[in-house]
Amino acid sequence: MIAIVDYGMGNLGSVSNACAFLGLPSRIVKSPDELRDCRAMILPGVGAFGDCMEHLRSHGFVDAVKEWIAADRPFLGICLGLQVLYEGSEESPGVAGLGVLPGRALRFAATPELKVPQIGWNRVRQRAAGGPLFKEVPDGAYFYFVHSYYAPLSGTDLDAGISSYGLDYASAIRRGRMAAVQFHPEKSQAAGLQLLRNFGEWVEAC
Catalytically active residues are: 79, 184, 186
Among left, alpha and beta (phi > 0; psi -120 to 50; other), residue 75 is beta
What is the distance of C-alpha 146 from the center of its chain? 12
Query: Residue 107: which of 99, 116, 97 has the closest Cα?
Result: 116
CA distances from 58 to 8, 40, 44, 61 (A): 9, 22, 16, 8
Helices (H) and strands (E) in the chain, counts: 5, 13
Backbone angles phi, psi at 52, to 5 degrees: -60, -50
